[in-house]
Amino acid sequence: MVLQSADPVAFTVHAVEDGEGTRFKVSDGMGPEREYHVPGGDRLHYEQFYEELARDFGTRRPRHFDQVAAPGREPPWKPLITGNLHPRILSGYGDPAVLRTEGGWYLVATSNDAPDAFPILRSADLHSWEPVGFVFEEGQTPEWTAAGIQVGDFWAPEMARVGGEYWLSYTARAKDRTLSMGLAKASSPEGPYTDLGRPLLTGSVIDSHIHVDEDGAPWLFWKKDTNSHWPRPLAGLLRERPDLIAELFDRGADRRTAAFCAAVQSWANGRRPMERFFLMQPLIRAALGNWSQVRAVLAASGVATQIVEDMATPIMAQRLDPDGGRLLGEPTQVLANDRDWEGHLIEGPWVTRQDGRYWLFYAGNDFTSPSYGIGVAVSDRLLGPYVKRDEPLLHSTPNWLAPGHASVAVGPDGRPQLFFHAYHPGTGGYNEFRALLTVGLEFSREGVELRAV
């Protein structure tokens, strides 16, 4: 695999699996060929590989975090869970969904590829949290899902009280690796949960949210996962059209990163979904660092129509039937990424009705980056049109990075609170620990503000 570019860069990459991982032989045509051993397909393996590649070839560092500017005043966020509470919870409390019940508060969270899917925790006061089990323990995941270390992806569960039942919607990969949404029911937040036995919705969809409207009707919100579609096609385009690299990227490190990802793209196509993401992540970060320019150049090129389309990630909504077994009518697009800070995606929708208006909280940008944050939009009708706040409501601080995927629940004082995850400083990425934090919300007809709790 050889690539020429205007930098100039000429990468040659040979990847060979040897039973102990993968050996990459890399040359840029200007110095000696170098060899790297990647012992596995996890995030840390590829971060180490890209760290060494940056040292030797001047590509973008994989965990290079942009400087986080110190805020004028530290926001009134309150940490709730900052360390692991159970040995079978392997990556913390990402995508936290908090539900208040008569008995207190319940939390469900993402489990990624852990053997036990979706930890459930309970709190009587929002201070002390007790793990009470998992939605699907090891060996009990639904038959239609792919499960196991480096196989399963169990993301973004949410509980909702619908009539006398608790419905739990979630994202998982079907056996054919397609991202799909499932739904399970229980008579108690702690389960046991009975799955539908099939996907509720399939076809590269993620981050389901059930909103029960004032009339008791359940609605499903979700995100089209098109942001996972464009990185490898972009790398393939740059392999065919290396002249575009200099137009897309200003920095030498970003140009070299794009050139390397273009050279390795054919090999990456044969890997499992998360490994493909790890391989393309430096290209994603390079594109986000030049986002307006990248979109403009690709749109003007005339050869990247599908790539540009896939850089938009719409939030959809559709009514559920009363038993939650199927969707009714046609889906409606209610939001899309159209602000510079959002980058190539918005995700994690959560709708709450306050003061007669619908407030839609969402996350934007890349979940591994400090540029990730939480935005909000408001509408007088459930299906919109929604008007966004121009800047994120929550963004990284020196103490907490990449706040995201929020839920709203009533706090001990009877007022609404936002619950969200964030990384400890210097960390970030798939299967990295994410803490649970909260902040109070103050709504008015004109907007929403943060308050201490």
C-alpha distances out from residue 97 to 92, 106, 155, 207, 314, Å: 13, 8, 11, 11, 21
User: SS3 of 288, please?
Assistant: helix
pLDDT one-digit tens code per residue, 147-193: 999 999 999 999 999 999 999 999 999 999 999 999 999 999 999 99
CA separation for the pair 20, 11 (Å, rounded): 24
| 343 secondary structure, DSSP code | T
Pairing of strands 9-17, 179-186: unpaired
CA separation for the pair 258, 239 (Å, rounded): 9
User: SS3 of 246, please?
Assistant: helix
In one letter, which amino acid is 349?
P
| 312 secondary structure, DSSP code | -
Cα-Cα-Cα-Cα dihedral of 220, 225, 226, 230, to 10°?
170
| 145 secondary structure, DSSP code | B
Q: Whole-model pTM?
A: 0.95
The CATH fold of domain 78-225+313-451: Tachylectin-2; Chain A (2.115.10)
CA separation for the pair 276, 228 (Å, rounded): 10
In one letter, which amino acid is 48?
Q
CA separation for the pair 243, 432 (Å, rounded): 37
User: Look-up: residue for tokens 């590649």?
Assistant: 53
In one letter, which amino acid is 23?
R
Residue 301: phi and psi, rounded to 5, are -70, -30
Domain segments of the chain as ranges: 2-66+228-310, 78-225+313-451
Cβ-contact 34, 24 below 8 angstroms: no
pLDDT one-digit tens code per residue, 9-47: 779 999 999 889 999 999 998 889 999 999 999 999 999
Query: Which contiguous run of DSSP H or E holds residue 410?
Result: strand 401-410
Closest CA to 442 of 359, 331, 347: 359
CA separation for the pair 123, 186 (Å, rounded): 19
CA separation for the pair 361, 348 (Å, rounded): 8
C-alpha distances out from residue 85 to 7, 10, 94, 380, 401, Å: 49, 49, 14, 40, 21
Structure token digits, residue 388: 């966004």
C-alpha distances out from residue 45 to 40, 56, 145, Å: 6, 17, 26
Following DSSP, what letter does each residue of 65-96 receive, concatenated? PPP-PPPSS----EEEE-S-S-TT--SB--S-
Following DSSP, what letter does each residue of 425-449 receive, concatenated? TT--STT--BEEEEEEEEE-SS-EE
Strand partners, 445: none
Residue 426: phi and psi, rounded to 5, are 80, 5
User: SS3 of 296, please?
Assistant: helix
Cβ-contact 362, 376 below 8 angstroms: yes
Determine if the peptide bond prior to 8 is cis (ω within 30°). Answer: yes
Cβ-contact 119, 89 below 8 angstroms: yes
CA separation for the pair 126, 105 (Å, rounded): 7
Residues (pLDDT < 50) of the chain are 1-6
Structure token digits, residue 402: 């990449």
